[in-house]
């Protein structure tokens, strides 16, 4: 049997806070993340204004095996959003943390950027990092060798890779060589035309595993500006 570098002996947990104007049938258990933290991870000004008038919290906490984690995570978010929609509330994904700013009928495992955010804290050192993949039992990922001037293209490739990771995990270990196509990227970014996006443009990447820090290390084998996005 081929060794799997990435650990599979984990039981992922997801946790959402449904914030409502009036209390539901539960106690407010923990304080929500600070407004500064929510803004840092991409929550919009509109979401922050709505949050100020919704001080009551209902927690949704679920755990699953790796085999069931993707569907459990999807269903937990749908349930949280449905509850918020029924009670004029909003939902905070506490694993990131950020306000979830799509509707229950828009939840999609294929749309990778619904499930993680990109940290740009180390962009000056040529690195982008995900926050959110641990909810699926995956390590977080770091893209290495990022060109600061074209970082959006590297981030797009990351979205395509995460789309693939969520579809293939845990059946396939992510370590090794992989190819990300324009269609993968379209799905990952939630493009409505993803199904008809050509697959003839692609970029090869290498995925390594840092066991000490439990991280996936992503290296692009070409310049995405030339390989994927050149006219």
Residue 97: partners with Cβ closer than 8 Å, 6 or more residues away: 33, 37, 38, 41
Q: Does residue 223 carry a pLDDT above 90?
A: yes
Q: Are residues 31 and 118 in the same domain?
A: no
Q: For all residues of the chain together, what is the average pLDDT?
A: 95
Segment 141-148 shows an average pLDDT of 98
Q: Which burial class, exposed, middle or buried, applies to 157 when counting CB atoms under 10 A from its CB (0-12, 13-18, 19+)?
A: buried
pLDDT tier, 28 (very low <50, low <70, confident <90, very high otherwise) = low
> CA–CA separation, 80 vs 100, rounded Å?
10
| Residue numbers of the domain that contains 57 | 13-106
- Regarding whether 116 and 102 lie in a shared domain, the answer is no
| Per-residue pLDDT at 17 exceeds 80 | yes
Residues 223 and 116 in one domain: yes
Q: Are residues 61 and 127 in the same domain?
A: no
Number of structural domains, the chain?
2
Instruction: Based on the fold, state whether residues 164 and 206 are members of the same structural domain.
Output: yes
Rounded Cα gap, residues 209 and 62, in angstroms: 27
| Residues 125 and 172 reside in one and the same domain | yes
Q: Is residue 8 part of a domain?
A: no
Contact 131, 121 (CB under 8 A): no
In a domain, 175, yes or no: yes
**Whether 211 and 120 share a structural domain:** yes
Domain boundary among 106, 141, 166: 106
Whether residue 124 lies inside any domain: the answer is yes
Give residue 3's pLDDT: 76
77 class by beta-carbon count within 10 Å (0-12 exposed, 13-18 middle, 19+ buried) = buried
Q: In what order do the strands lie in the sheet with 13-20?
A: 56-63, 13-20, 90-93, 98-100
Residues 43 and 97 in one domain: yes
Whether residues 125 and 222 share a domain: the answer is yes
Percent of the chain having pLDDT more than 70?
97
The secondary element (H helix, E strand) that includes residue 166 is: helix 151-168
Percent of the chain scoring above 90 in pLDDT: 91
Residue reference for tokens 């349930």: 79
pLDDT band per the 50, 70, 90 thresholds, residue 102: very high
Mean pLDDT throughout 58-75? 94
Asked if the structure places residue 7 within a domain, the reply is no
The answer to whether residue 3 is domain-embedded is no
pTM summary value: 0.94
Question: Is pLDDT at 107 greater than 90 in this prediction?
Answer: yes
How confident is the model at residue 2, as a pLDDT?
59
Q: Rounded to the nearest 10 degrees, how much is the dihedral formed by the CA atoms of 124, 231, 130, 101? A: 120
| 102 and 161, same domain (yes or no) | no
165 and 88 co-located in one domain? no
Residue 171, Cβ density class (10 Å: 0-12 exposed, 13-18 middle, ≥19 buried):
exposed
Task: Mark which of 106, 136, 151 sits at the end of a domain.
Answer: 106
Does residue 5 fall inside a structural domain? no
Are 68 and 122 in the same domain? no
pLDDT given for residue 19 in this prediction: 95
CA distance linking residue 201 with residue 184, whole number of Å: 10
* Confidence grade of residue 231 (pLDDT, cut at 50, 70, 90): confident
Q: Which of 49, 77, 106 is the last residue of a domain?
A: 106
The verdict on residue 151 lying in a domain is yes
């Amino acid at each position: 049997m081929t060794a799997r570098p990435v650990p599979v002996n984990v039981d992922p947990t997801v946790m959402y806070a449904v914030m409502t104007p009036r209390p539901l049938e539960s106690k407010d258990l923990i304080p929500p993340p600070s407004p500064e933290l929510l803004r840092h991870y991409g929550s919009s000004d509109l979401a922050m204004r709505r949050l100020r008038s919704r001080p009551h919290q209902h927690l949704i906490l679920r755990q699953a095996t790796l085999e069931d984690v993707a569907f459990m995570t999807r269903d937990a978010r749908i349930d949280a959003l449905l509850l918020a929609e029924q009670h004029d509330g909003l939902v905070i994904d506490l694993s990131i943390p950020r306000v979830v700013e799509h509707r229950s009928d828009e939840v999609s495992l294929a749309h990778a950027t619904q499930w993680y955010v990109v940290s740009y804290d180390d962009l000056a050192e040529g690195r982008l990092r995900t926050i959110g993949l641990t909810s699926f039992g995956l390590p977080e990922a770091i893209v290495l060798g990022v060109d600061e001037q074209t970082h959006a293209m590297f981030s797009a490739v990351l979205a395509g890779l995460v789309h693939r990771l969520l579809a293939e995990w845990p059946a396939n270990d992510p370590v090794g060589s992989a190819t990300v196509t324009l269609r993968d990227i379209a799905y990952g970014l939630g493009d409505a035309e993803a199904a008809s996006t050509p697959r003839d443009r692609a970029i090869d990447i290498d995925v390594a595993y840092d066991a000490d820090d439990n991280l996936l290390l992503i290296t692009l084998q070409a310049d995405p500006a030339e390989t994927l996005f050149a006219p």
